[in-house]
Amino acid sequence: MLPKLDPLLHSELRLAVISILSGVESADFTFLRQQTGATAGNLSVQLEKLTAADYITVEKGFKGRKPCTTCRITPSGLEAFNAYIQALQAYLPGAQK
Amino acid sequence: MTPQESLRLITETMNNSRKAILQGSANHFLLWGILLTALSLVIYFLWHGTGNPAWNFLWFAMPVIGYPLALLLRKREASIPKSEIGKLSGSVWTAFGAFAICLSIIAVSLVPMNVTLLIVVLLGFAECISGAILKNWPIIVAGFILGVGGAAAAMLLRSTEAQLLLFTLGGVLLAAIGVIVKMQYR
């Protein structure tokens, strides 16, 4: 039987965010927006969902005088991402043989 | 999304993020490369023109000019994420800077030594390690050639003024690395 894909990660924008955060220590909101091409509103909503699931942490602060939102992946977020990739591989042609 | 689309999205996103981080490090290679080239040429011509080796004290202007500019550059790249690549690369060059400054001070005030040879080896070594961190073969090879070839040249070149031109070569190589990385990860 094929493994179930994590519905929280199986969304284009949330998956892109987690993919970026899995490779860096932290990334700010502006960078995530630039890389994903998402609107600020949509990105905020998806970040909230990931935060609620404890996949990422969001820290609001200031860089100089400018407000800055910094996002980090949590250990459980990283675990979920790795599990998601493993599950995806099972869906690829030839994986069930 | 199909599983294939998901995997493609993950790969593309990770690659794009890595490109953005590497583009940021390229700017720092360019900055220090241009600064090293310019300063070595200025010192060479001043020393050559006046015959006064005291112009070498101008080397201490390098961190004085370079670090504020590097900080300014970092402020401009404020949105580039913190990554292991950036941290490791930064540590390598900070260590290089500390070694170069301390050795120069010791050579000037305590024990005379061939600072050109030592610094050119350190420069090549730091470049090699940076290349390994960035997984970039041209940088590794350039660093190796600069370090090993530079050490041999520093011993063979009799005139200390001529040895200065090794730093010009080092600076040009650093700036070239910046250009290569920028082009590679555009």
Asked if A23 lies within 8 A of B83 by C-beta distance, the reply is: yes
Is A90 a domain residue?
no
Is A19 a domain residue?
yes
Please give the pLDDT value at position B47: 86
Q: Name the most confidently modeled range: A37-41, A92-96, B71-75.
A: A37-41
Asked whether residue B107 carries a pLDDT value surpassing 90, the answer given is no
β-strand partners of A62: A67
What confidence tens digit (pLDDT) does each residue in B96-106 have? 989 988 998 89
Interface of A with B in 58-77 (CB under 8 A): 63-64, 66, 68
Give the one of A15, A34, A64 whose C-beta lies nearest to B9's C-beta: A15
CB burial string A46-83: b at 16+ within 10 A, e below = bbeebeebebbeeeeeeeeeeeebbbbbbeebeebbee
Please give the pLDDT value at position A13: 95
Going by pLDDT thresholds of 50, 70 and 90, the confidence category of residue B78 is: low
Asked whether residue B120 carries a pLDDT value surpassing 70, the answer given is yes
Beta-carbon contacts of residue B184 (< 8 Å; ≥ 6 apart) = B22, B136
% of chain A beyond a pLDDT of 70: 97
| Mean pLDDT, all residues of chain A | 89
Asked if B20 lies within 8 A of A35 by C-beta distance, the reply is: yes
Distance from CA of B31 to the nearest CA of A (A): 23
Is A84 a domain residue?
no
% of chain B beyond a pLDDT of 70: 99
CATH, residue A16: 1.10.10.10
What confidence tens digit (pLDDT) does each residue in B32-61 have? 999 999 999 998 889 888 888 888 888 888
Q: What are phi and psi of A59, to 5 degrees?
A: -120, 125
Is A94 a domain residue?
no
Is A2 a domain residue?
no
Give the one of A15, A28, A92 whose C-beta lies nearest to B10's C-beta: A15
Please give the pLDDT value at position A96: 56
Quote the number of domains for chain B.
Answer: 1
| Mean pLDDT, all residues of chain B | 87
Asked whether residue B11 carries a pLDDT value surpassing 60, the answer given is yes
Q: Name the residue of chain B whose CA is nearest to A24's CA.
A: B83
Going by pLDDT thresholds of 50, 70 and 90, the confidence category of residue A92 is: confident
State both tokens at B151.
Answer: 């050490």
Structural domain that includes position A44:
12-79
Structural domain that includes position B131:
3-184
Quote the number of domains for chain A.
Answer: 1
Residue to mutate among A19, A81, A82, with most B CBs inside 10 A, is A19
Average pLDDT over residues B146-150: 90
Q: Does B83 touch chain A (CB under 8 A)?
A: yes
Q: Name the residue of chain A whose CA is nearest to B87's CA.
A: A25
Is A60 a domain residue?
yes
